């Protein structure tokens, strides 16, 4: 990132980055992907409209339809639909915002060429490409998903790990865009606790530690992630449970569906009751996976082979009761 602005939460970061993209381009619509989560402000708490309409509608009470209509929604990994929307709406479209690895409908990796295509289309149509790396930043690699997949967006959102457990988030990217932000430019952003020294110290300490050990940490997370997801899939097969595990680095989730999960609609084909039973039986063996099918599980640097073996044993036991 050529310039960066510190804020307190991922929600604040995406809200200001989208305002910045609108201020920079002079356009008002944005494109997001169905099932993607970018915090809890009005422009992004949006789901697809009825009857295949791409104009979004509020996914929470209290959000005016007038606001949601400016957010267009496409299926994640659907390169063709995204291309059509970007071309058709180019003159009104300020930004495309995407989780480069979808993390809020379970982890869903980008299909081959999907991120590249977004990069090319946004460039051709002078639309700002925003990677929301609140989850993937410092998780998939020290340089996040953009380094993992070798695609540099115009703006990047960071949160979670960047603050080392304290409230801190950031957005930044191309200097030409960032210079539009106050006090240099006309797009307003400020906050009492923005860049507060406690969070920044915690964040810097964490990032320095990750940087120092990055040659060990990331290959190890990658290896342990694959070990765990392969182990879960072996259990699924052995117990004839119709489910599959998605995994990217230290992100993983088991979806109770026979369909390959590549977007929100395939994720929603999962048997949620069965996931809930899986969650409860794991909790009874002191394994705390997220209480929702549509969340990612994460490995941390504290997990090693022993914890993974223990997890696999508990998962094997749990699946025994979920056959079919």
Ligand X SMILES: Cc1ncc(COP(=O)(O)O)c(C=O)c1O
Q: Toward ligand X, which CB reaches closer, 99 or 154?
A: 99
Binding mask 144-183 for ligand X (x = CB under 6 A): ---------------x---------x--------------
For position 14 contacting ligand X by CB under 6 A, the verdict is yes
Stretch that binds ligand X, among 71-79, 99-107, 194-202, 239-247 (CB under 6 A): 99-107
Instruction: Let me know how long the chain is.
Output: 324
Which stretches of 97-172 are DSSP H helices?
Answer: 114-124, 144-149
Q: Considering the rule CB under 6 A, would residue 39 count as an interface residue with ligand X?
A: yes
Q: Give the contacts of 260 (CB within 8 A, at least 6 positions apart).
A: 244, 266
Stretch that binds ligand X, among 62-70, 75-83, 132-140, 218-226 (CB under 6 A): 132-140
295, 309 contact by CB (below 8 A): no
Of 14 and 25, the one with the shorter C-beta distance to ligand X is 14
By CB under 6 A, is residue 99 in contact with ligand X?
A: yes
Residue 96 or 236 with smaller CB distance to ligand X: 96
Q: Which is nearer to ligand X, 14 or 262 (CB)?
A: 14
Rg (CA), the chain: 20
Give yes or no for a contact between 178 and 129, defined as CB atoms under 8 angstroms apart: no
C-alpha 220/C-alpha 25 separation (Å) is 42
Helices 305-320 and 272-284, packing angle to 10 deg: 120
Nearer to ligand X, 196 or 242 (CB): 196
Name every residue whose Cβ is closer than 8 Å to that of residue 56 and which is 6 or more positions away in sequence: 32, 46, 47, 48, 49, 68, 69, 70, 71, 72, 73
Contact 119, 129 (CB under 8 A): yes
CB nearer to ligand X: give 18 or 232: 18
Residue nearest to ligand X (CB): 10
Among 240, 245, 242, 277, residue whose Cα is nearest residue 261? 245
The pair of three-digit structure tokens given for residue 299, joined into one six-digit string: 């490995």
Segment near ligand X (CB under 6 A), from 35-43, 173-181, 250-258, 275-283? Answer: 35-43
104 binds ligand X (CB under 6 A): yes
Does residue 11 interact with ligand X by CB under 6 A?
A: yes
CA 285 to chain centroid? 29
> Counting contacts by CB under 6 A, is residue 135 touching ligand X?
yes
Query: Would you count residue 225 as binding ligand X (CB under 6 A)?
Result: no
Helix (H) or strand (E) holding 130: strand 128-132
Please select the residue that binds ligand X; options are 24, 33, 37, 218, rule is CB under 6 A: 37
Binding mask 54-93 toward ligand X (x if CB under 6 A, else -) reads ----------------------------------------
> At closest approach, how far in Å is the CB of 12 from ligand X?
7
Element (H, E) at 158: strand 155-158
134 binds ligand X (CB under 6 A): yes
The number of residues that bind ligand X (CB under 6 A) is 15
Q: Where on the chain is the footprint of ligand X (CB under 6 A)?
A: 9-11, 14, 37-39, 99, 103-104, 132, 134-135, 159, 169
């Amino acid at each position: 990132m050529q310039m960066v602005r510190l804020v307190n939460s991922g929600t604040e970061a995406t809200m200001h980055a989208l305002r910045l993209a609108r201020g920079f381009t002079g356009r008002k619509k944005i494109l997001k992907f169905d099932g993607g989560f970018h915090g809890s402000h009005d422009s992004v708490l949006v789901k697809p409209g009825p009857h295949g309409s791409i104009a979004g509608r509020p996914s929470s009470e209290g959000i005016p339809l007038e606001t949601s209509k400016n957010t267009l929604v496409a299926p994640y990994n659907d390169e063709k639909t995204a291309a059509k929307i970007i071309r058709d709406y180019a003159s009104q479209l300020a930004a495309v915002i995407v989780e480069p690895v979808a993390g809020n409908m379970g982890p869903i990796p980008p299909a081959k060429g999907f991120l590249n295509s977004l990069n090319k289309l946004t460039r051709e149509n002078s639309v700002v490409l925003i990677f929301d790396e609140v989850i993937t930043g410092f998780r998939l690699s020290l340089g996040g998903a953009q380094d993992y997949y070798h695609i540099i967006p115009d703006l990047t959102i960071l949160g979670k790990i960047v603050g080392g457990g304290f409230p801190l988030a950031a957005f930044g990217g191309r200097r030409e865009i960032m210079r539009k932000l106050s006090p240099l430019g006309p797009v307003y952003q400020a906050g009492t606790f923005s860049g507060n020294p406690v969070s920044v110290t915690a964040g810097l300490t964490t990032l320095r530690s990750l940087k120092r050990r990055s040659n060990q940490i990331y290959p190890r997370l990658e290896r342990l992630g694959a070990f765990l997801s392969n182990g879960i899939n072996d259990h699924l097969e052995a117990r004839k449970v119709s489910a599959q595990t998605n995994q990217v680095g230290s992100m993983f989730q088991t979806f109770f569906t026979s369909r390959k999960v590549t977007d929100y609609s395939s994720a929603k084909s999962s048997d949620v009751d069965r996931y809930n039973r899986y969650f409860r039986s794991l909790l009874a063996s002191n394994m705390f996976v997220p209480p929702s099918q549509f969340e990612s599980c994460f490995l941390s640097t504290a997990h090693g082979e022993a914890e993974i073996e223990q997890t696999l044993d508990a998962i094997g036991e749990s699946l025994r009761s979920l056959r079919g």
